[in-house]
Homo-oligomer: A and B are copies of this chain.
């Protein structure tokens, strides 16, 4: 392995000149720079990572803590890990993946050994031991998702409030006045889950504000429960013409199946939008309009925040990522009564 000394010798300069020529941290005569670059290239020189960490102030590594929980939806989880890695590489950062059961132990270890310049916390849960740690880690940290108490933390997340209003607005623009939102099982709301509650509260408040009929429904995830929920909704007097779904993939699939079985056509009889989903709604029949989670936009923002925080600790704040509407043909103007 070539060292900086080899490059210096080959280029006929000192090692400090090599260092500066390659880093661009001070002005170097063009001819010198060229000779150094040539020497480095022909020797296949790559600076020793450990030496850089020790002498410099940066390791060029971020830790990503991404614990796998029993209810983790693997494709979304991976999309986020991948998006973080891709964004990090654009800033010349590599990703150290921490998946340990005791996530805090791994975080403490890599932070206090100065292995990483920063930490990205993925997929925070309501009671997440990593959150308390993040405040005291001594290493810049950005959280993706919003914990119960985001005080003093730098967080990034999809703007679920805007997403919910966007879904409603899109449908009121087409004349809809009677809405339902199908959410997660009750248990999710009881244990204080972040996004579902934000979506629910935004929906009910916004519907009230606009004078809309806005019904909020929860359902267990088994097929029978979902079908019963759909039946109750469709059999009610003045059933809704517009349905938002913020629930898991299988539930949304079952809803569409059962609606079709009941002879209700999407979008002619019922307009449907999937809100805040991580899965591919074009595989449904019919394909659903969706306001999806945005792993790339979210992770780009998180990595940008982290890189900006390297000179000094990140400014605590919550940054919201703007939602995007993806039309797939599942909405239509309100049907004539």
Chain A residues with CB under 8 Å of chain B are 1, 44, 46-54, 59, 61, 64, 68, 74-75, 77-78, 81-82, 85-86, 89, 94-100, 106, 109-110, 112-115, 138
Asked if B96 and A61 make an inter-chain contact with CB atoms under 8 angstroms apart, the answer reads yes
**In the bound complex, do residue A49 and residue B113 qualify as a contact, i.e. CB atoms below 8 Å apart?**
yes
Q: B96 near A94 (CB under 8 angstroms)? A: yes
CB distance from A97 to the nearest CB of B (A): 5
Rounded to whole angstroms, the CA-CA distance of A253 and B281 in the bound complex is: 19
Closest Cβ of chain B: how far from A245's Cβ, in Å? 21
CA gap between A59 and B61 in the complex, in Å: 13
A-B contact pairs, 10 of them (CB 8 A): A44-B112, A46-B112, A48-B114, A49-B113, A50-B54, A74-B78, A75-B75, A94-B106, A94-B110, A96-B96
Report chain B residues within 8 Å CB of A115. Answer: 49-50, 94
Given contacts A50-B50, A50-B54, A74-B75, contact A85 B113 (CB under 8 A): no
- Would you call B86 and A99 a contact (CB within 8 A)? yes
Closest to A64 in B: B97
The answer to whether A82 and B54 have CB atoms under 8 Å apart is no
User: A110–B59 Cα gap in the complex (Å)?
Assistant: 12
Residues of the B chain whose Cβ atoms lie less than 8 Å from the Cβ of A109: 46
Given A78-B77, A109-B46, decide whether A85 and B114 contact each other with a Cβ distance below 8 A: no
In angstroms, Cα B179 to Cα A182, docked, is: 46
Provide the bound-state CA to CA distance between A50 and B51, in Å: 6
User: Could you say which residues of chain B place their CB within 8 Å of the CB of A51?
Assistant: 50, 53-54
Q: With contacts A50-B59, A52-B50, A75-B75 known, is A1 near B112, CB below 8 A?
A: yes
Q: A74-B78, A95-B97 are in contact. List 5 more A-B contacts (CB 8 A).
A: A46-B113, A49-B53, A49-B110, A54-B54, A64-B97
Q: A48's closest neighbor in chain B, by CB? A: B114
Which chain B residue lies CB-closest to A81? B97
Say whether A85 contacts B112, CB under 8 Å. no
